[in-house]
Amino acid sequence: MSWIVLVLSGVLEAVWATALGKSEGLTRLWPSVTFGITVVLSMLGLSYAMRDLPVGTAYAVWVGIGAVLTVAYAMATGDEPVSAVRILLVGMIIAGVIGLKLTH
């Protein structure tokens, strides 16, 4: 159960990071509200997962999922450039997250 919550919390991290970027310094209402709600839910999920998982593993997986999804969304929407090197580097983050899960 902790792994499922951790993955969902990582997804929420991508949501709050994206919303924070779109909030223009927390001056736009709905992106700011989305940020506030999802950052709290993401942190609660991370803290729940850390009850059963080592702190370093849980944090690295949470950040990795959030980073990969945030970059993937930005590339898909055209906010960030897409290149073979960027895709390779994102793949390396994914491999690291999978490796942490497999060695747990």
pTM for the model: 0.93
Beta strands in 1-104 (DSSP E): none
* 104 pLDDT more than 90: no
DSSP label of 3: H
| Cα-based distances in Å from 73 to 46, 53, 66, 77, 80 | 22, 28, 11, 6, 9
- Mean local confidence (pLDDT), 17-43: 98
The answer to whether 57 and 100 have CB atoms below 8 angstroms apart is yes
- Mean local confidence (pLDDT), 57-69: 97
Both tokens assigned to 96: 């690291």
